[in-house]
Structure 1
Amino acid sequence: MFGSSKTSIPSNSSMDHAGSAAEQALHATQVLAQEALDGLAGGVQELRDQASPILHQASDRASNFAHNTVDALRDQSMRLRDQAARAGANTTHYIRAEPVKSVLMAAATGAALMALVSLLNRTRG
């Protein structure tokens, strides 16, 4: 009735060997993962080291460009102010030297502008 049946129970040495192999595989995986992370961190640091001088150089160029632009605008503004002052002085001198011609020229210019405005109003209406 009770026949003899042999069930195979793994021996302790087989289980120890499998556990040891699993631990070795886990350790090897951890080592590889750590090496990969170290390599990635090194690569990021290397890129950061390479990018830093380039970024500083670009920043310096942008700053120099901004300063040069401000200086150029200041110079141009001063030139325009000087030209306007000279034009005003020349106009004042001409008006004092030729008052009749100046009044006639102003009247003619005003009449021309009024004619132009009147013409524009007719075309719109």
Structure 2
Amino acid sequence: MSYSNPLSNALGANGPLESDVMPVLNHAAQQADGLLQRGADALRENRTFFKEGAERTQAQVNTYVREEPLKSLLMAAAAGAVLMGVVGLMLRGRSHHSH
């Protein structure tokens, strides 16, 4: 006695659903491919945008440091002090929770 799988028969080369299912699957695959392509294009455009922005900012910082070296040094020291204060508070808060 031979058992057949109705699903494989329906989706097989001569199955009645092949003419209905395959166009839908092909259309879905084409849409997915289009979405992936647009996503890749958007990533490339944004990468260029952010890279150019970072380069402009770096040029502006370099110019400011050359024109105002003392102010630049004081601002860097202040930023470092603030950062160390925040890290110190975080570490102190963590040590209080562990006791």
**Counterparts of 2:93 and 2:74 in 1: how far apart (Å)?**
29
CA distance in 1, matches of 2:29, 2:92: 58
Structure 1, 47-56 or 113-122: larger mean CA deviation: 113-122
Match of 2:42 among 69, 72, 76: 72
> How many corresponding residue pairs?
84
Alignment-derived partner of residue 24 in structure 1 = none
The alignment partner of 2:15 has SS state of helix
* Gapped regions of structure 2 (runs ≥ 5): 1-8
Counterparts of 2:22 and 2:46 in 1: how far apart (Å)? Answer: 36
Q: Which has the higher contact order (CA 8 A, sep 6+)?
A: 2
Q: Which residue of 2 aligns with 1:106?
A: 76
TM-align CA RMSD: 1.8
TM-score by length of 1: 0.61
Aligned equivalent of 1:92: 62
> 2:31 is aligned with what amino acid?
R
Counterpart in the other structure of 2:33:
63
- Indicate the structure (1 or 2) with the bigger Cα radius of gyration: 1
After TM superposition, the runs of 4+ consecutive aligned structure 1 residues lying more than 4 A away are: none
